[in-house]
Amino acid sequence: MKKSWILFLSVIMAALLVAACSNDGSTETSSSTTKKDGPFVYVAQQVVGSIDPAKHTDETELISILNTYDPLVYPKIEEGVMDPGPHLATDWTVSEDGKTYTFNLRDDVTFQSGNKFTANDVVYSIQRIIGIQQGFSWLWKGVLNPENVKAISDTQVEFTLNNAYAPFVSTLTQLFIVDSELLKENSVDGSFGEFGDYGQAYLENNVAGSGPYKLTEWNRGSHLNFSKNDSYWKGWKEGQLEEVQMKIVTEQATVKTMLNSGDADMVHQWLTVEAYEEFKKASGIVVEEESSVQLQHIPINMAKAPTDDINVRKAILYAFDYDVANAQILNGATQAIGPVPINVTGHNSDLQPYKRDVEKAKEYLAKSKYSGDELTVEFMYLADTPSQRQLAQLVQNNLEEVGFKVKLNGVPWTTVTETTTKPETTPHMVVISDTLKYPHLDSHTYGIYHPSAHGSYRSSSWYEDAETTKLLESARSAVDPEEQLANYIQAQALINENAPSIYVANPNHRIAYRDYVEGYTYVGILGYDLGFYYLSIK
Amino acid sequence: MSAETVTNEVAKGSNSRFDYKRAWYKLKKSKLSLVGLFIVVGVIFMAIFAPWIVPYPADATGATIAFDKMNQPPSLEHFFGTDEIGRDIFSRVVYGARISLMLGILVLAIAIGIGVPLGLIAGIWGGKIGALIMRITDIFLAIPSLVLALAVAAILEPTLINIMIAISFGWWPWFTRLVYGEVLSLKDEQFVLASEGLGASKWRIAFIEVLPNCTSTIIVKATLDMGFVILTGASLGFLGLGAQPPTPEWGTMIAEGRVYLPEMWWQATFPGFAILVTVLGFNLLGDGLRDVFDVRLDGE
């Protein structure tokens, strides 16, 4: 018994010693600049839940779908901008009232099954996603009735919207075209009449796309293997990635070691700022860092006391230390000004950003109807995300200085999505990182502050303001682009004035890869920087 | 379990006095027990005098932030380096002893408070009541205490008090089992039979005659368990179910520091080391005390 203790102790000591010594040597191994044999390994941060293009919601799901399917329009990656450009659609026209869109389609595309791509597949795909009502179907809810999508010929399809909808073409970056013949063959009985289950059971494990890669293996929780689709309609060039593995690794220390040793060729964008700083110092690793079109903000629940009072919210906004948050926690991020990220076309540049001013914060608090009460606010954040933990403690410190009590609540992501479905359960404040969902500022105005968005984590502030709603609606349906822009600009000013959120930052987007990887372009749309087809090896 | 035999000198008659000199002599014989004692006294000292020991008490008590000196390696100014918010890790580790000790003591107090009376009742009364209590105990024992604590902690809001409740929930059955075994072997001792003959009530026999003779076993078990309770508490803290920031809880500190491994090793290593040393200390001391009291615990 006693001896085993001594043994145990010595093992621990030895392990500690080894750990301490190996620390210095960790960067030496990273001098290799040629790719190791085997597939291109991309390390992702979270498990892929669904590979069905009617159900994807997050980054890893989107990556697995955009590499195996094609959308009608694709962000103009080659030009480095996020605006949608031709892909399966060669060009399109819009009617004068802004309601009817006619797309001309490519006639040289075949699906991986060998079936030819036609307008019928487009009709089936949009009907399927709207019918299933999951994933990104909210983009077209109330805007497009499935029966109003018609195949005019094999290479022409017409969408008739209920009313003019400015961001429509942008939203099509989330419409991936499925092989309708294959799915009809593989449908089982379901709730969609003649369509059975729309092939949902089949797509739980299979792919029915025309994309550049075939899914060769999917081990849930561990990895997805892709290999090139030889008959891809865009063709293949020397150096492009033929075999790709998307590996899911959640422990940051492991991710760092993998990239350092060359076991991974590229790693995801969600590591700590410190990790990318370390990568920058290592040889053989490139860190891509650019300003993003992401909004990191802290929505304040406007439907719950005491933050239903605008004076309390303004006190919070003036108490927050934006400089520490941006300079130190987010390591050189730009302070966000209003809900729309600064780099997005249509951002209102006349808005005045809030600045820390403790005196002003106290004044506003004194003006509020809760003045004199002891105010306790709940602050929710992702416990496993260091920058959010840091923000949480910054807010706690800042607000206590003004006279609030702050109850911190570190949670996993699922708790955030669950609690924000109802105003009563939504915390007073919650940290949200919101990337553009489609390449249009409508995503961060209408998509967050229109009442139809209520119940999603995106609209955790439960913003409701008749004037804003009216502006957003007329912006969406305006046919004249100038009138449209004016509406969006005015809406931003109104939202900013109502103080529904601490607009913290448009943080920098960072991603790291080995220096033999070429062709990486980040345009701002979540996931679209990881179309493996566009990468190559030197 | 049923074959548990207790040869306890102290237990032979409720009026025999405890021989401190002899106990100290026995404890001294084992160097490791002394190391354990030394560590435990040290940890308790740290916990009590934390405000006077640490250089930056504010870093461990309030919502302090110091982002201009975050993630600094160990230095003379900050013995254990600083964390992601720029707080002194040494101060937080020392204050952490308070949290862990309080957790350990309170959990064991609750576990003993529930477990011991139930064990006594089951043993003395026997029959249907005894069987019922022991079967419930068995059900609880069938589930690993960490799993049970996880389940309870997940239902409750994550606070330090709730974590204690969650752990106690899975801990009391051990004491019930232990005391029950003791009672069974003491039940037929002369002094128990004598008081029965004198017409003492069952309550009196249980709590006045039998209980004092179980104390040494309970003390040894509690000392050995202290380490494990602290470890369980730290595990729950690590999983984010324990004390919420800015409370300096060791498990939470490791969880927060682990993303910075291996480069900023000090953030997770020092709180981890504190847990290691503390748990080790209580175990060594518990081992020593077992020899002193000459108690045999279940399964050893």
| Residues A186, A223 within the same domain | no
| pLDDT, position A478 | 85
Q: Are residues A306 and A439 in the same domain?
A: yes
Read off the amino acid at residue A228: K
Q: Looking at beta carbons, which residues of chain A come within 8 Å of B259?
A: 252-253, 272, 275, 384, 386
Q: Is the pLDDT assigned to residue A23 strictly greater than 50?
A: no
**Is residue A233 in a domain?**
yes
Q: Which residue has the higher pLDDT, A383 or B40?
A: B40
Would you say residue A322 has pLDDT above 80? Answer: yes
Residues 501-530 of A with CB under 8 A from B: none
**Residue B233 predicted with pLDDT over 70:** yes
pTM recorded for the entire structure: 0.82
Q: Is residue B141 part of a domain?
A: yes
Mean pLDDT of A407-436: 90
Give the domain extent around B158: 27-57+80-293
Is residue B162 pLDDT above 70, yes or no? yes
Q: What is the pLDDT of residues A133-157, one digit of tens each?
A: 888 888 898 889 999 999 999 999 9
With tokens 């659609």, the residue in question is A89
Question: Which residues, at least 6 apart from A530, have a Cβ–Cβ distance to it below 8 Å?
Answer: A42, A63, A66, A67
Tell me the CATH number at A354: 3.10.105.10
Question: Considering the domain boundaries, does residue A32 fall inside one?
Answer: no
Check whether B10 has a pLDDT greater than 70: no
CA dihedral B160, B165, B166, B168 (to 10 degrees): 120
Q: What is the pLDDT of residue A9?
A: 60
Structure tokens at A261: 């040793």
Contact assignment for A390 to B67 by CB distance below 8 Å: yes
Nearest chain A residue to B260, by CA: A253
Give the pLDDT score at B2. 39
Q: Is the pLDDT of residue A489 over 70?
A: yes
State residue A19's pLDDT score. Answer: 53
**What is the share, in percent, of chain A residues with pLDDT greater than 90?**
67
At A434, phi and psi to the nearest 5?
Answer: -125, 110
pLDDT reading at B122 higher than 80: yes
B7 domain residue, yes or no: no
Tell me which of A17-31, A196-210, B9-23, B261-275 is least confident: A17-31
Same domain, A278 and A309: no
For every residue of B4-19, DSSP letters joined together read -----TTTSSTTPPP-
Q: Is B219 exposed, middle or buried (0-12, 13-18, 19+ CB in 10 A)?
A: middle
Res. B5: pLDDT tops 80: no
If pLDDT is split at 50, 70 and 90, which confidence band does B76 have? very high
Among A155, A181, A210, the domain-final residue is: A210
Q: How far apart are CA A286 and CA B161, in angstroms?
A: 47
Same domain, A501 and A528: no
Domain at A224, CATH number: 3.40.190.10
When pLDDT is cut at 50, 70 and 90, the band that residue A30 belongs to is: very low
- Domain extent, residue A221, equals 40-44+216-291+509-537
Nearest residue on chain A to B69, alpha-carbon basis: A328
Q: Which two tokens stand for residue A322?
A: 């934006």
Residue B14 has a pLDDT of: 42
Is residue A53 pLDDT above 90, yes or no?
yes
User: Of A210, A227, A244, which closes a domain?
Assistant: A210
Say yes or no: A353 and A377 in one domain. Answer: yes
Beta-bridge partner residues of A157: A103, A151
A21-35, A215-229, A524-538: segment of lowest average pLDDT: A21-35
| Structure confidence at residue A15 (pLDDT) | 62
Average of per-residue pLDDT across A386-394: 92
State the complex-level ipTM: 0.79
A27 found inside a domain: no
Confidence of residue B19 (pLDDT cuts 50, 70, 90): confident
Mean pLDDT of the region A91-106: 93
CA distance B263 to chain A (A): 7
B246 touches chain A (CB under 8 A): yes
| pLDDT exceeds 80 at position A6 | no
Shared domain check, A410 and A526: no
Does residue A26 register a pLDDT over 70? no
Contact A26 B85 (CB under 8 A): no
Average pLDDT, chain A: 90
Q: Between B63, B261, B284, which is nearest A393 by CB? A: B63
CA distances to A254, A277, A466, A468 from A516, rounded to whole Å, are 21, 19, 54, 49
**Does A356 share its domain with A485?**
yes
Q: What average pLDDT does this structure show over A453-480?
A: 90
Q: Which residue has the tokens 């249980």?
A: B206
- Band the pLDDT of B299: cuts 50, 70, 90: very low
* Chain-chain contact of B287 with A1 (C-beta, under 8 angstroms): yes
Residues A314, A354 within the same domain: yes
Q: Chain-wide mean pLDDT for chain B?
A: 87
pLDDT digits (tens, 9 = 90+) for A215-239: 999 998 899 999 999 999 999 999 9
In this predicted structure, the answer to whether residue B74 has a pLDDT above a threshold of 50 is yes
Residue B247 main-chain phi, psi, to 5 deg: -55, 130
Total structural domains within chain A: 3
Q: Specify whether A201 is located in the same domain as A322.
A: no
Main-chain dihedrals φ then ψ at residue B67, nearest 5 degrees: -65, -20
Is B21 domain-assigned? no
Number of domains in chain B: 1
The answer to whether A131 faces chain B, any CB pair under 8 Å, is no
pLDDT of residue B246: 86
| pLDDT value of residue A400 | 93
DSSP A85: E
- B20 located within any domain: no
Nearest-angstrom CA–CA distance, A527 and B6 = 67
Q: Is residue B2 part of a domain?
A: no
Q: What is the CATH number of the domain that holds B234?
A: 1.10.3720.10
User: Which residue in this structure is represented by tokens 């049923």?
Assistant: B2
Q: Is residue A57 part of a domain?
A: no
Sequence-distant (6+) residues with CB within 8 A of A61 are A48, A49, A50, A51, A55
* pLDDT (average), residues A78-90: 91
Residue from A4, A5, A382 to probe the interface with B (highest B Cβ count within 10 Å)? A5
